[in-house]
Every structure is written in structure tokens, then in C-alpha cells.
Amino acid sequence: MTQPAYRHMQAAAYGRIIFTSSNVGAFGLPWQTNYAAAKAGLLGYAMWWRPRVLPMASAANAILPQALNTSMQNPSGRPPYAPKDLEEMAAVIAPFARFMTVENVAALVVYLASRECDLSGQVFSVDSGHVARVFVGVTPGCLRRTRHVRLRRTWLRTWM
């Protein structure tokens, strides 16, 4: 779907791509690693588009809405490998359900689709009336010229 839209964006020299993934793609879901991996892949795909759309004054961003009361989270339809305390987890989240609305997500989509938005290659989490930019980065790390065993011990002391 993205590539045909991209051809139109090239012809118009303008466009917006907004990928919809899930908070699970960035933060995980212990009993649904396959779903989390698929949603994380969509985030990587959104990042891949950034350098391709920027020369056209276009943008590609991703949003991660939090889902509630879906078949994956519904205790009655839970898979056998789901945690035993799933019902308790759902009860904790329940008070926030009234803030998890389509309107909260739609407001961000409208902004990202507008000409006023100059953001591209960004990922946003939308959850309970809260919108936040999700950041993935690389630290400076450490490089020490020592023997392999000493390097491993030094690295463990430094970073763990």
C-alpha cells in the first residue's frame, strides 16, 4: 500500500504517510511475542521511509495507540499461555478505558497529516489521553583496548 501512495507523493512533490502500529511494538507483550515483533517491524519500516520522503517535503511517521478490550486482552478469549493474573491486569487498566478513545488518536493523526507538521521519522505513543514521542537511540558505549577477557569484565562493570 505504501509504494503506490509514494508514487503519487513523488508526482505531487508532497505527501504524508502515517503508519498505525501498537504500543506492543515498542514496549512488548509477554505472551504475544509474535504480535509484538510484527508491530516492531512496522516501526522499523516507518523509519526506513524517512530519508525517502524528506527531499519531497513529505513526512512518514508512526503512531502506537494502546488497545483495550480487544480479543487479545479479553480474559475470556485469552490464549492458554497468557499470564494467570490477566484478569487482575485488565482490572488495573479499566479506570483508564474512558481516556482510550478514537478521538485521542484521531487528533494526532490530523496533526501529522497537516502541512503544519514538520516532523518525519517519528514514533508517537497514544495512551489514555497522553501522547509521547517514543525515542530509540544509541549510547556512546565503550571501547577499551585490552585482552578479550578483561574487556568483557570491564564492560560488565561499566554497563551493568
What are the DSSP calls for the chain, one per residue?
A: -HHHHHHHHHHHT--EEEEE--HHHHH--TT-HHHHHHHHHHHHHHHHHHHHHGGGT-EEEEEEEPP-S-TTT-GGG--TTS-TTHHHHHHHHGGGGGG--HHHHHHHHHHHHSTT----S-EEEEETTEEEEE-----------S-HHHHHHHHHHHH-
- Its pTM stands at 0.70
Q: Catalytic residue among 14, 35, 45, 111, which?
A: 35
pLDDT of 88 strictly over 90: no
Q: What is the pLDDT of residue 70?
A: 53
Please tell me which residue, 78 or 116, carries the higher pLDDT value.
Answer: 116
With a CB cutoff of 8 Å and minimum separation 6, the contacts of 151 are 144
Structural domains in the chain plus CATH codes:
2-159 (3.40.50.720)
Burial class (CB in 10 A: 0-12, 13-18, 19+), 106: exposed
Mean pLDDT of 52-67: 84
pLDDT at 50 (0 to 100): 82
pLDDT in tens, 91-101: 776 676 666 77
Who has greater pLDDT, 89 or 27? 27
Does 141 score more than 90 pLDDT?
no
pLDDT at position 142, please? Answer: 65
99-136: pLDDT as tens digits: 677 777 888 999 999 999 988 888 998 887 778 888 87
Tell me if residue 35 is catalytic. Answer: yes
